[in-house]
Amino acid sequence: MVADIMHGLSAYFWSLFTGPTDLVLLVGLVGQGLFTARFLVQWIASEKAGRSVIPLSFWFLSLGGSAVLLGYALYRRDPVFILGQSLGTVIYLRNLALVFRERRSTRA
CATH of the domain at 62: 1.20.1280.290
Report the pLDDT value the prediction gives residue 20, as an integer from 0 to 100. 78
Residue span of the structural domain in which 32 resides: 20-107
The arithmetic mean of pLDDT across residues 82-108, rounded, is 90
What's the whole-model pTM score?
Answer: 0.75
Q: Is residue 8 part of a domain?
A: no
Selected residue with higher pLDDT from 67 and 35: 67
Domain count, the chain: 1
Q: Please check the confidence at residue 101 and state whether its pLDDT lies above 90.
A: yes
Q: Is residue 44 part of a domain?
A: yes
Spatial separation of the C-alpha atoms in residues 23 and 73, rounded to whole Å: 14
Q: Is residue 6 part of a domain?
A: no
Average pLDDT, the chain: 89
The arithmetic mean of pLDDT across residues 42-58, rounded, is 91
Q: Please check the confidence at residue 108 and state whether its pLDDT lies above 80.
A: no
Residues 6 or more apart whose Cβ sits within 8 Å of residue 71: 27, 31
Nearest to 67 by CA among 79, 85, 55, 49: 85
Q: Is residue 81 part of a domain?
A: yes
